[in-house]
Structure 1
Amino acid sequence: MSLIAATAICIGYIDRCEAQTSSLTMYGSIDEGIGYVSNQNGGKAVVMGPIAVPDKFGFVGSEDLGGGLSAIFKLENGYFSNNGRFAISGYQFSRMAYVGLTSQQWGTLTLGRQWDLTNEVFTPNANGAVQFNNFMYHPDNIDNAAVTPLSNSIKYASPGYRGFSIRTMYSFSDANTALGRYIGAAVLYATGPLQLGAVYSDTNHRTYAFNTQLGYTSFMGQNLAGGASFVADNTRIIGVAGTYKLGDRWRIHGMIDQAHLQTRQDTETALTEELGVDYQASVANTVSLGGFHTEFAGKGYSTVGLANLYQLSKRTLAYAEVTFQKANGGALADLPSLSPSSNDHQLSLRIGLQHYF
């Protein structure tokens, strides 16, 4: 739904009348499907819920201030279609809530709750996003390749110059989530069939669900029994990602990144390498194959996914996907959004429907 209103403001005389335009758009998506998991906590399971793309709804708007300058805002929340609950309890707009100014000449400055810069570099090139498969994101989102919003943030995005643009971001400490300050910077390049990005981020007091997501009972000296979260004093992430289109039918995408977790007593590093290939078999049908390997704290996680995506219309997508993970080094396999397997492998089969509005 889009509402567009044009207003005329006259200052003093008719010949000094300026036209101003404002816009407001409501948008969102809903995903639902059914899947089979080979092993969750030691048993087979049938699961439902928004797994392909997180359910969301929001409002985005802008107002022309004249002279090439516009005011902008965005409010976006996540929810679960299988039960109707908000994605994060207590948040009205858990994904994004920001306001700012944008100019073609000077760039865009926004303030509020916004995505980490790693999302802007990694996510468009990630198998999880390209395959519409949340199970293809990396173990417990250590590298922030999946959606990672930050509150109390200031972000600047430069205008493009010969395909290049830069982005910087600073986030103050957030007492609600216990996150400390965040600093990030990214360089993006896009021209013709190629898009590339490089990013660096530094976050204090980041929490990880290593118990419920990876099955760890302790990590780096912290007791995680009973579902307690692991808290890293500092997390630094650096990585590059890109996509290259080969003609009208083929696309190759990938990334390599490193996440460095540090406490006062110890440090651990997660290294992730990912590659994916997409083939557009027809105007409506795309087949996507991809995989990644993550080495973390002496353990390894190798995941491969195959998806068939069929556009029933411009806004409605039917999909079928298979995802398999094999762990080593004593790790339990654990695809994102699922509970850990009782052994080193886990298989997911899923069919579903995604609709945008």
Structure 2
Amino acid sequence: MFRKIMPAALLIPCLTAQAQSNVTLYGIIDIGVNYLNNAQSARTATGLRGGKQWSVMDGGTGGLQGSRWGLKGAEDLGGGMKAIFLLESGFSANNGTLGQGGAEFGRQAWVGISTTRYGKVTLGRQYDEVVDFYAPLLAAPQWGGYMVEHPSDLDNASNTRRVNNSIKYTSPTIAGLTVAGLYSLGGVAGSFGTNRVWSVGAGYANGPLSVGVGYLNAHNPNTSFYGTNPNAGPATANNLGGAGSATSPQSNPIYAGYASAKNLQIAAISAAYAIGPATLGVAYSNTRFQDLGSSSGPNPLGYTGTAYFHNIEASAKWQVTPAFVLGAAFDYTTGSGAAGRNGAKYELSSLGADYFLSKRTDVYTVAVYEHASGTDSLNQPAVATITGMTPSSTNNQVAVRVGIRHKF
């Protein structure tokens, strides 16, 4: 009898521990067909050459969401405390390659402690607070995707960049208010401030009103912020767009010329108000590339001083039925060039429709038109540059996408 009871007794702690822990596998596959006009094909002595472009593209370069898979889990430590972790890998559904420059868990990778009373602390590769609080109230994450995002995601609202080596604190939500802060250690011996990144933010939701604010400050941003993907590192003199994300400087004419900034600052606020089935949104961000001409990155155009962008977005979403969403947005970006040079302006109009076939599968379409004017960061006439798409050969561009997304 003793021999029969003992094995069963030894299993009890194991079963208890299993019940107190959980690991979840999840993911998204988003893929579609894109049409783009005036897509750059070459630069000639007489100017840019372009034409129509048809392509099958992953959600991360034009769709609602980037394709991904991940593991997340929690272990109950008792007393309202849990150990938590998340590993998330991005990939391209149209060719199977890894996203984020080939990083295995390039989207997120962190571990930490969560408490019901005091909030949570996490360490690893994480989103900044502009992404956490400002971005969710924009048109792009709700119905529009990357094509609707601000030009070249200049304020990082679509989390194009993550923060490595970071420590983040997120408070519990009290009376609708949540606050958070992030700090990334540069890790450079003898220079505490080099490659340092820090960010703070807050979100408030009560009834029909939601508000989000975020701020990010990156020292030596060409390395600490734009150079954090393995095969898409910082800009060089031959490639202002950054390796892996560009084959020529033309791939990112909006702010690639400001790679020598010693400091990057992004300050942003967004708000949304629900009126029955409709939600109206407005957002503003200010992005500043400061102390140009530093040793942080290449400066072939000899820039000095500060270049900055103001971005204003107005959007509307209509929940026609529980399964059908319509959206419209207008975005206006104006920039001031470095050392008093003329900046560029970008006007983006967009429409979208999303229909859910089930709770996990939806089909959608998004149409975008952008007009550019002025002089871009490469000191050239500004061309339309829809986020995730090949820049235009002119100052106008139209992009249309029809896609399908499945969540598991």
**2:90 equivalent to 1:91:** no
Task: Please name the residue that 2:43 is paired with.
Answer: none
1:49 maps to which residue? 57
Could you say which residue in structure 1 is the equivalent of 2:169? 156
1:160-175 matches, within 5 Å, as 160-173=173-186
2:81 maps to 1:73: no
Distance apart, 1:140 and its partner CA: 2.0
Deviations 1:186-238 (A, max 9, x none): 12111112111112210012236652433369835xxxxxxxxx242110111
Structure 2 match to 1:182: 197
Distance 1:243 1:267, change over 3 A: same
Aligned position for 1:131: 143
- The AA in structure 1 aligned to 2:281 is H
Q: How does 1:163-312 map to 2 (within 5 A)?
A: 163-173=176-186, 180-207=195-222, 210=241, 211-215=249-253, 219=257, 230-247=259-276, 249-262=277-290, 263=292, 264=294, 265-296=304-335, 297=337, 298-312=343-357
Q: CA deviation at 1:137?
A: 1.1
Q: Distance in 2 between matches of 1:317 and 1:191?
A: 29
Unmatched tracts of structure 1, length 5 or more: 1-6, 11-16, 221-229
- Partner letter of residue 56 of structure 1? R
Identity fraction in percent:
30
Hey, which of these two has a bigger chunk of helix by percent? 2
Pairwise CA distance, 1:337: 1.2
**How many Å apart are 1:136 and its aligned residue?**
1.0
Contact between 1:121 and 1:199, CA under 8 Å: does it hold in 2? Answer: yes
Q: Secondary structure at the match of 2:262?
A: strand
Matched residue of 2:392: which SS? coil
The answer for the alignment partner of 2:234 in structure 1 is none
Q: Which amino acid aligns with 1:109?
A: V
Mapped to 1, the partners of 2:284 and 2:168 lie a distance apart of 24
Tell me which structure has the larger Cα radius of gyration: 2
Residues 47 and 18 (structure 1), Cα distance of their counterparts in 2 relative to 1, 3 Å cut: closer
Residue of structure 1 equivalent to 2:358: 313
CA distance in 2, matches of 1:218, 1:304: 23
TM-fit CA distance, 1:133 = 2.0
Q: Distance in 2 between matches of 1:288 and 1:215?
A: 28
CA root-mean-square deviation: 2.1
Aligned length: 332
Shift of 1:344: 0.3
Structure 1 Cα separation of the partners of residues 182 and 37 of structure 2: 41
Query: 345-354 vs 138-147, which deviates more?
Result: 138-147
Measured in 2, the distance between the counterparts of 1:98 and 1:252 equals: 34
From 370, 378, 389, the equivalent of 1:325 is 370
Cα offsets for 1:231-287 (capped at 9, x unmatched): 42110111111221112x101122101011112422111110001101111121111
